Amino acid sequence: MVLQPSERHYRDWSDRRLGPWCSPTGSPAPLSCETGCGEGSWILVCRLLVPTQVSLLSMEEDIDTRKINNSFLRDHSYATEADIISTVEFNHTGELLATGDKGGRVVIFQREQESKNQVHRRGEYNVYSTFQSHEPEFDYLKSLEIEEKINKIRWLPQQNAAYFLLSTNDKTVKLWKVSERDKRPEGYNLKDEEGRLRDPATITTLRVPVLRPMDLMVEATPRRVFANAHTYHINSISVNSDYETYMSADDLRINLWNFEITNQSFNIVDIKPANMEELTEVITAAEFHPHHCNTFVYSSSKGTIRLCDMRASALCDRHTKFFEEPEDPSNRSFFSEIISSISDVKFSHSGRYIMTRDYLTVKVWDLNMENRPIETYQVHDYLRSKLCSLYENDCIFDKFECVWNGSDSVIMTGSYNNFFRMFDRNTKRDVTLEASRENSKPRAILKPRKVCVGGKRRKDEISVDSLDFSKKILHTAWHPSENIIAVAATNNLYIFQDKVN
């Protein structure tokens, strides 16, 4: 039996996977024509590796975790399936950068502080903390294995000395607290020096506990676990601008959570039909508006975007605005439905625009114009002739993400062969750059790459037939206020900064 694209598409979701926001902390100057997408405008700051294992340190261990993890990361260059990075996210200040991998681990990097002797190290990031966020589970009622893979990480704004972040796998969202400890209490009355409880009858004097200095230790502790609310795989989480609630979206439903309530959530979108055979689309991504706590947007596998307002109804099955670009009948093909599926949706920092990524393009939509996007950028249009082979090796189902820079003037997204693309919205210039080990020397200048489609190939060009589709940039992140980007390639995290920084 030959499956039609739509049938295989939905079978793929049901069998395997039915299917960031950052508040602005500043407004950097837009990238100019000369530095934004020009040749040699980005340099490699550092290349970091995700660890192949995580040593879980107890709270009493007197160990500097940063030194141990830093040496461990830089000494290991091999990778397993569990080491593949699955999400990347800067915090609101850009001082911390978190990555999640398929092994359920979270690695947090901290930016080097600027010093007079090493000014050039200002953009470097070193390991701050590593911890195991999720473990593999098994649902015995459904005979379903739940992977430990981290699908998304979202930071909460910092309110005190500690940091908080949300991480999620397919079923469970966890709230983590990351804090530092450089003192430990000594002189307990009810415990001896080894921590064992003493017999109260033997206590004849009272001591005042004191705090003694110790080597700095970073602790990650789970504060909340939000579970048992999703039947299907979670693909998105987004923190609301009120910082009291967040939403989690799976393939058919979106739930609203309060950070203080773990045993109850509110279903705000439900597109599951009464008869699953009538299912025609699934939810692929969702995000809250950066400033209006009542507004959110979600995208679908049919290439549509729905804007919802929670003031209109508690259950937002009826959208407020519907964004869809009419399909050109002349471009209709066997794969049209698959490549039109939206893999990522992002509000601009200003909240005026929406950016979406489908398989071949990135589109920018104005909230006030629903019938078509105001900008469309071709990411790798040279692959249009290779959709058949991409369909056979399942690459056509890859879910690429997209990000804005801090001023919403430049957008970035990934491609194959470890290429990633930047588009300057002001000048309409674009550039293709490569994150590779060959260019992994610190301070190395990135040279633009070009893909040749047939005909004679120049010396600095690469043929479309030579592209490696096993190397792909799915996850990227942009510093909220500076021209620093993080690009995940397999188990490697590349951090680049603008040459003018």
pLDDT-based confidence at 259, cuts 50/70/90?
Answer: very high
Half-sphere exposure of residue 372, counting CA atoms within 13 Å on the CB side?
6
Residue 86 has pLDDT above 80, yes or no: yes
Mean pLDDT of 132-158: 92
So what's the pLDDT on residue 300?
96
Residue 18 has pLDDT above 60, yes or no: no
In the chain, the percentage of residues whose pLDDT exceeds 70 is: 83
So what's the pLDDT on residue 119?
53
So what's the pLDDT on residue 37?
53
**pLDDT tens, 179-206?**
998 888 887 888 877 778 888 888 888 8
Residue 478 has pLDDT above 80, yes or no: yes
- Distances in Å between the Cα of 470 and the Cα atoms of 68, 299, 344, 452, 474 are 32, 26, 20, 19, 11
| Lowest-pLDDT range of 41-50, 222-231, 286-295 | 41-50
Residue 28 has pLDDT above 80, yes or no: no
CB 269 within 8 A of CB 55: no
**pLDDT tens, 409-448?**
999 999 999 999 999 999 999 999 999 877 667 777 888 9
pLDDT-based confidence at 175, cuts 50/70/90?
Answer: very high
Query: Quick one: CA dihedral 316, 319, 325, 327, positive or negative?
Result: positive
Q: What's the DSSP call for residue 338?
A: H
Query: Position of tokens 């950070």?
Result: 259
Between CA 257 and CA 263 the distance in angstroms is 9
The residue ranking higher by pLDDT, 52 or 207, is 207
Q: What is the pLDDT of the chain when averaged over all its residues?
A: 84
Alpha carbon 133 to chain centroid, angstroms = 15
**pLDDT tens, 361-381?**
999 999 999 999 999 999 999
Residue 77 has pLDDT above 60, yes or no: no
